Structure 1
């Protein structure tokens, strides 16, 4: 497959109809790199033939969108590993530094005594999602 990139406005809609994310909110279209392995095969198949000006809506299973929930990405950490100023309540998102130096968002799922449960799965892992794309330009 040849490498190409599309600049798209994208809304990500959950099965209950709520919008999980939208590039229109920030006013910054997303760059989709086709052919480099960064997108799932199912996602690439949906967008491969799109051209500037096209609008396309499609739904992907969790496995083809952001992946299934990986239990190995849920960690129980001691409260002492967190800065005292950080609010440790369920739903709070904290940035962690991965071994490779990348910043990874983690969601606090539970706090019990000195044990803090952190979920490093993508917030949309395990969810079927609908993508609403509008191709702005080919790069």
Structure 2
């Protein structure tokens, strides 16, 4: 075990599972065989997630639960859009629950989840798929790197 601990500015390599409270695994770096590389304090993690990781060392494992406002946020009704069917390719899979990539005016791509199709109206939810969910993180720190000052 290394004496280097997760702290501000540290780069961490970790495996994690994100589980719902019913035990469903929503995401897993282990399943993909590719660990996550994250930098503490760069805004990619919620404050509560960073607090949970602080002080961990290489080789340590931890499970912790985060409420929606600490994890992926609450579902925002303004992020649910109604689009015309003609905006989709004729062969697009518009089944409820399908996740599609949408290109915004700025050129960036954003995932949207098909929530409903009614006539020529397609309801697309641009909230994070885990928004509004209490989640359990099961993490394993593989390595911790800190910049020498």
TM-score grouping bracket, smaller chain normalisation: over 0.9
Pick one of 32, 40, 55 that aligns with 1:26. Answer: 32
Question: Is residue 47 of structure 1 aligned with residue 53 of structure 2?
Answer: yes
Aligned equivalents of 2:128 and 2:8: distance in 1? 28
Pick one of 44, 64, 73 that aligns with 2:70. Answer: 64
Larger mean CA deviation between 5-14 and 29-38 belongs to 29-38
Aligned residues: 139
Return the index of the structure with the highest Cα Rg: 2
Unmatched runs of 5 consecutive residues or more in structure 1: none
Larger mean CA deviation between 55-64 and 91-100 belongs to 91-100
How much has 1:93 moved relative to structure 2? 1.0
Aligned equivalents of 1:56 and 1:2: distance in 2? 19
How much has 1:100 moved relative to structure 2? 3.4
Aligned equivalents of 2:105 and 2:48: distance in 1? 29
TM-score under structure 1 length normalisation: 0.95
How much has 1:32 moved relative to structure 2? 2.2
Aligned equivalents of 1:125 and 1:48: distance in 2? 24
